[in-house]
A and B are shown apart, each in its own frame.
Chain A
């Protein structure tokens, strides 16, 4: 239900521009796309899709068939057999379950904590606010590599290596998320509204729950989708913190690639298995994710 408000909420950025563009006539960007533009765009779309399609083709043949000249260009019936073998040889089922747990927890945590902090940075005035916000934004530039070594020492000390919390906890918040929520709330939530709540005698938390949360919902949905996608695809830290006995999808795929499954078509079938869930999510929510990147990523 909540997501239903999304298109309606993100759409208003579009219509006001439409008349402006139309007025511009032939000039610049407003022109209708000609055949050249369509050809180039279609080519780019094919390039974007082809490697994924090739995974399907290569994953559904035997090794000998892919090696033939010319190579096959259509999927074949061996797909399920190859997937079955991939599931036997790498713990992909467990990996998908783990990834759902990991990416799900990270998404819930990030959206909750970043909305709380984003609200405080946008609307509450407290000592040191500017400094703390600068800290958040500044550390967005620090590479992950810089934190990994002590992080590994910590989880080794806590005996968390190969446990999911080792992957969940460090990623439970994101500086980008705080900044994203702050930017949204600064403009989307009028001060008068909060003051009205205060006048009615609501506590800060009550104001947060009944005014801020509903107003922040569109941005929270966008942040949730981006966070889930990023968490699902995260590679660097999981491959350090986990092993193949309790992997996320990316760790399992890395295992597939590093040679204990020698069959190339089985590797491709496994890759397909590990990639399809997130592609399905993307196919369903793609429009909103695109909208989110169009709206928020530039500010971030």
Chain B
């Protein structure tokens, strides 16, 4: 299909010749392309589906959160005002889940992004088997949450898990990974880190490759070591990309759901016997689909969104201030 790729280019080269300048004055041509009511027809299919299944539900959740209602009650239910939000703020489960989401989020995001940065740096060397390494690093991203969690749940198992077998092999005690608060959260964070590190590394790598080489030459002439070059050339140049990955990872971390759901191995929404790894996503699902308190679940969903807005806003402000301080 060479026509596909070379056609437009040929046409482009031929265009000035083909188009007789006298028949259509340039001004009129521009109008025909720039004032185009057909634009609506082209975006219509997208907005039709998007409006029905994303935008409308998103706004309707706010309405639901002000009601006491059940899943079958599409017309609303009983108006309770801010009652659901008041319940939420007074509920120890909410604060517990918020705390867990925060700690798992930090345990998963910070090491993940640091390792991704290091990996990208390594991948940016002149490498043999470059494509092989890049592809292998992305394998975990191609694995699903369900598959990854099932495998890691076995690896972290108390009685027959691989990690405990190794610990015992070197003379250490077995750890009840799922039972403890920190250990279970660490294990869940490990799953997240495993799945996303390679993906973030590739994003960093792409950004690194667009840093002009002259910057490194200049730094080297000034006698900067490899490490200082990384610190003073690479990192500042990557700042927008780092901000982007921080925001995306944060949004992902606040929504964490599948990993804590499947980690226990019995598919309950409690997040462990003492809710030690129940996240906000899991709590919302429990309120709605186990306790059938749909208004409360909607309020929780909105709380999650507000948390995202606050964190993303803070990250953006910090990023902007840092960028200004550098200048």
Q: A residues engaging B (CB < 8 A)?
A: 1-2, 4-5, 8-9, 17, 20-21, 23-33, 37, 40-41, 44-45, 47-49, 51-52, 54-55, 58, 63, 66-67, 69-71, 109, 112-114, 116-117, 119-121, 123-126, 129, 132, 135-136, 139, 141-154, 156-157, 169-173, 175, 178, 189-200, 204-205, 208, 211, 214-215, 217-218, 229, 232-233, 235-236, 239-240, 249-250, 253-259, 264, 267-268, 271, 274-275, 278-279, 282, 286-287, 289-290, 293-295, 297-298
What's the tally of chain B residues with a CB closer than 8 Å to chain A? 136
Do B18 and A139 touch (CB < 8 A)?
A: no
Quick one: given A144-B255, A153-B71, are A116 and B42 in contact (CB under 8 Å)?
Answer: yes
Q: Which residues of A have CB within 8 Å of B281?
A: 145, 236
- B144's contact among A23, A32, A233, by CB below 8 Å, is which? A233
Kindly provide the distance from the CB of B109 to the nearest chain A CB, expressed in whole angstroms: 16
Asked if B91 is at the interface (CB within 8 A of a chain A CB), the reply is: no
Q: Which of A25, A139, A275, A279 has the most CB of B within 10 A?
A: A275
- Asked if B301 and A143 make an inter-chain contact with CB atoms under 8 angstroms apart, the answer reads yes
**Residues in B whose Cβ lies below 8 Å from that of A171:** 53
Q: Pick the residue among A26, A51, A189, A254 that contacts B146 (CB under 8 A).
A: A254
Contacts of B144 on A, CB cut-off 8 Å? Answer: 232-233, 235, 249-250, 253, 274-275, 278
With contact pairs A150-B60, A192-B12, A267-B150 given, residues A172 and B138 touching in the complex (Cβ less than 8 Å): no
CB < 8 Å neighbour of B119 from A44, A114, A116, A125: A44
B contact residues around A5 at 8 Å (CB): 1-2, 4-5
Q: Could you tell me if A28 and B226 are in contact, using CB atoms closer than 8 angstroms?
A: yes
Stretch from B178-186, B208-216, B318-326 forming part of the interface with A: B208-216
Contact A24 B305 (CB under 8 A): no
- Known A139-B58, A147-B53; contact A198-B32, beta-carbon cutoff 8 A: yes
Residues of B within 8 A of A124 (CB): 33, 36, 38-39, 42
Given contacts A23-B217, A142-B58, A268-B154, 14 further A-B contacts (CB under 8 A): A20-B213, A21-B213, A44-B119, A48-B198, A55-B151, A109-B49, A146-B58, A150-B57, A153-B71, A153-B74, A229-B142, A233-B144, A235-B146, A271-B150
Contact at B61–A146, with CB atoms within 8 Å?
yes
B284 and A145 contacting across the interface, CB-CB below 8 Å: yes
Cross-interface CB contact of A71 among B34, B148, B165, cutoff 8 Å: B165
Contact status of A156 and B308, CB under 8 A, knowing A253-B147, A274-B147 = no
User: Judging by beta carbons under 8 Å apart, are A279 and B61 in contact?
Assistant: no
Chain A nearest Cβ from B118, distance in angstroms: 8
Looking across the interface, which residue of chain A has its beta carbon closest to that of B65? Answer: A149
In the complex, which residues of chain A have a beta carbon less than 8 angstroms from the beta carbon of B55?
Answer: 135, 139
Min CB distance, B11 to chain A, in Å?
6
B146 and A257 within 8 A (CB): yes
Residues of A within 8 A of B2 (CB): 5
Interface residues of B in 39-73 (CB under 8 A from A): 39-40, 42-43, 45-47, 49-50, 53-58, 60-61, 64, 71-73
- A121 and B142 within 8 A (CB): no
The residues of B with any CB-CB pair to A shorter than 8 Å are 1-5, 7-8, 11-12, 14-15, 18-19, 23-24, 29-30, 32-40, 42-43, 45-47, 49-50, 53-58, 60-61, 64, 71-74, 118-119, 121-128, 131, 133-155, 157, 159-160, 162, 165, 168-169, 194, 198-199, 202-203, 205-209, 211-213, 216-217, 219-220, 226, 229-230, 233-234, 241, 244, 251, 254-255, 257-258, 261-262, 265-267, 281, 284-285, 288-289, 294, 297-298, 301-302, 304-305, 308-309, 312
Inter-chain contact A235/B145, CB cutoff 8 Å? yes
On chain A, the residues within 8 Å of B58 by CB distance are: 139, 142, 146-147
Whether A196 pairs with B15 at a CB distance below 8 angstroms is yes
CA distance in complex: A198, B30 (Å): 10
Q: How far is the CA of A289 from the CA of B33 in the complex (A)?
A: 34
Nearest residue, chain A, Cβ from B191? A51
Residues of chain B within 8 A (CB-CB) of A267 are: 150, 154
Docked-complex contact A271 and B261, CB < 8 angstroms: no
Contact A214–B4 (Cβ < 8 Å): yes
Smallest Cβ-Cβ distance to A170: which chain B residue: B53
Known: A33-B122, A113-B45. A129 touches B39 (CB 8 A): yes
Given B12, B123, B203, B266, which contacts A293 in the complex, CB threshold below 8 Å? B203
Bound together, the chains give a CA A4 to CA B2 distance in angstroms of 9
Report if A54-B134 is in contact (Cβ < 8 Å); known contacts: A2-B4, A143-B304, A151-B57. no
Q: Which residues of A contact B3 (CB under 8 A)?
A: 214
Interfacial chain A residues near B138, Cβ < 8 Å = 282, 286, 289-290, 293
